[in-house]
Amino acid sequence: MVKTADELALMRISGRLLASVFEMLDGLTLEGMSTLEVNDRVEPFIVDTLEARPASLGQYDYAYVLNCSLNDVVCHGMPDALTIIRDGDILNLDITLEKNGFIADSSKTYMIGTPSAAARRLVKATEAAMWKGISAVRPGAHLGDIGHAISRHAKKAGYSVVREYCGHGIGREMHEEPSVLHYGKPGSGMRLREGMVFTIEPMLNQGSRHVFTEDDDWTVVTRDGKLSAQFEHTVAVTATGVEVLTLRPGEALRLS
């Protein structure tokens, strides 16, 4: 759970490499591609260019290097050749990467072409909710402070927070303790300590927070068919606050 200085140094490397995957994706024209084509662009970039391992591949028998969650898909969308990314879509790409035995995890929701004003508002609010949660991270704070900051922002913006999925500790394993809920009460839950590393990855829905899993046992969708968005970073608790290990090039810290 708590990482040594040497372990954190290795996790920074994994985080920087993963950030560069998103930088590569930012330069692609995703519109018109299939979700499988996106997967097939990312895999050789991680393996051949970055000389790292796509940590999702083979994890829990998963056959791809990323999750592609489109529109009403909340999370765990599987790439396929028939799903084409189109103008107006919102698309979450969730990617993990291992280097030197340590894993980083991050996701971003892309707005394709010209989404509706309602879709754009959801995406921006979800990204802001993640940053509200990150801003609550510091030694002596509690996990409940993170969840409260996220859910308060979501409620104020008029959105619901998915409760079935949460952030998690990360390091040598993709999923470690603790679980990081995206809702909670201030001052509740585990107290944060310097060296702890975990993900913050809120999923916000336009409508109800309720979801269900499709027959493939992976794809999670909103129960009411409305849009969902997600953003995620891997963060470390520092002596004075928080370090975002997967901060992407050109992405400024938004700590309030």
- pLDDT tens, 26-83? 999 999 999 999 999 999 999 999 999 999 999 999 999 999 999 999 999 999 999 9
Omega before 44 cis (within 30°)? no
Please report which confidence band the pLDDT of residue 1 belongs to, taking 50, 70 and 90 as the band edges. confident
How far is Cα 66 from Cα 151, in angstroms, rounded to an integer?
26
* 145: helix, strand or coil: helix
146-186 pLDDT tens trace: 999 999 999 999 999 999 999 999 999 999 999 999 999 99
pLDDT of amino acid 17: 98
* CA-based nearest residue to 109, from 245, 202, 27, 229: 229
Task: Yes or no: say if 59 and 44 are a contact pair by the CB < 8 Å rule.
Answer: no
pTM surpassing 0.85? yes
d(CA 220, CA 44): 27
Residue 8's contacts (CB-CB under 8 Å, 6 or more residues apart) are: 195, 197, 236
pLDDT band at 121 (very low <50, low <70, confident <90, very high): very high
pLDDT band at 134 (very low <50, low <70, confident <90, very high): very high
Q: Report, in angstroms and rounded to the nearest whole number, the Rg of the chain calculated over CA atoms.
A: 17
% of the chain exceeding 90 in pLDDT: 96
Print burial letters for 10-31: b (CB count within 10 Å at least 16), e (below 16).
Answer: bbbbbbbbbbbbbeebeeeebe
Alpha carbon distance 198, 176 (integer Å): 8
Alpha helices, DSSP H, located in the chain: 5-26, 35-44, 117-135, 143-157
Angle separating helix axes 5-26 and 35-44, nearest 10 degrees: 130
How far is CA 145 from each of CA 80, 127, 136, 139, 159, rounded to the nearest angstrom?
A: 38, 18, 6, 12, 19
Tell me if 213 sits within 8 A of 224, measured CB to CB: no
Cβ–Cβ under 8 Å, residues 167 and 196: no
